[in-house]
Amino acid sequence: MPIKYPDPFSYSTDGLSDQVNPYLAALREANTDGGLPLVFGQALVPYPGKWRELAAAYHQRREPYAKLVLEIGCHQGRTLLEMAAAHPDILFIGMDITFKRVVTTAQRAKAKGLNNVFVVLANAVALGQLFAAGEVDGCLIFFPDPWIKKARQAKNRLVDETFARQLSEVLVTDGFCWLKTDQLGYFENSAEQLDGVGLVRLDTPTPPLLGTNFTSTFEQRFHQKGLETYAGQWLRMAGAQGHLI
């Protein structure tokens, strides 16, 4: 069940019957009894600017996280959990808009005993409200929904000028954005938006902090079908435009 609400803090599951979605009960419990490393709606209010601190407290972790990496559209957590296992010093936050995907990601993180994963049910169009300026060291957007069935759907694509400005704002200086998609047009348009807010395109195949070409579920599906995919990384240099807004 996807949430469409652009305001992440006002989203509530009150009024939805548990019968509507099998993941609803687990989602609600996560906010009330902390059974899963998962947060949404009103409970998100304290998080912007304090993600590392609050996630460390949740996981009862003594060592602070060295960095914070966000994956937008984390699906069921495959890439997120692989990265988290490889980099135990980094906090990995997975964001998605469906109950099933966030609950499954959080359940899998818990089952693996990962104390560096947190999951958020929210629409990434509100990125700038969810993180403080300079709070994010890296952001992955792998295969964002392409909206290609009808020409007029292109307006629904996540990566537009408003999003690129928010992304630049939440990234720390030297923070990266890593984008992958199977749609050349979407890739080129996104590249234009990211370049446009002053993020600098890198020539390397892997991002600086992670150093590995982590792949995703959709990426593997496309490659199995022999389809081409497009990838790029951008770095936020000092003085990028996002911080001037």
Ligand X SMILES: C[S@@+](CC[C@H](N)C(=O)[O-])C[C@H]1O[C@@H](n2cnc3c(N)ncnc32)[C@H](O)[C@@H]1O
Active site residues: 145
Give the binding-site size for ligand X (rule: CB under 6 A).
20
**Which one of 102, 120, 139, 158 is in contact with ligand X (CB under 6 A)?**
158
Does residue 160 belong to the site contacting ligand X (CB under 6 A)?
no
Stretch near ligand X under the rule CB under 6 A, chosen from 46-54, 123-131, 196-204, 225-233: 123-131
Of 129, 189, 217, 241, the one binding ligand X by CB under 6 A: 217
Give me the 81-100 binding string for ligand X, x by CB under 6 A, dash otherwise.
--------------xxxx--
End-to-end CA distance of the chain: 34
Among 44, 72, 159, 199, binds ligand X (CB under 6 A): 72
Interface segment toward ligand X; rule CB under 6 A; list 22-30, 141-149, 182-190, 237-245: 141-149
Among 124, 159, 177, 194, binds ligand X (CB under 6 A): 124
145 contributes a contact to ligand X by CB under 6 A:
yes
Per CB under 6 A, does 21 bind ligand X?
no
Q: Which is closer to ligand X, CB of 52 or CB of 78?
A: 78
Residue of the chain from 75, 87, 157, 165 that contacts ligand X (CB under 6 A): 75
In whole angstroms, what is the distance from residue 120 CA to residue 74 CA? 10
Q: By CB under 6 A, is residue 216 in contact with ligand X?
A: yes
The distance of Cα 56 from the centroid of its chain, to the nearest Å, equals: 18
Positions touching ligand X (CB under 6 A) are: 72-73, 75, 95-98, 101, 123-125, 142-145, 158, 216-219
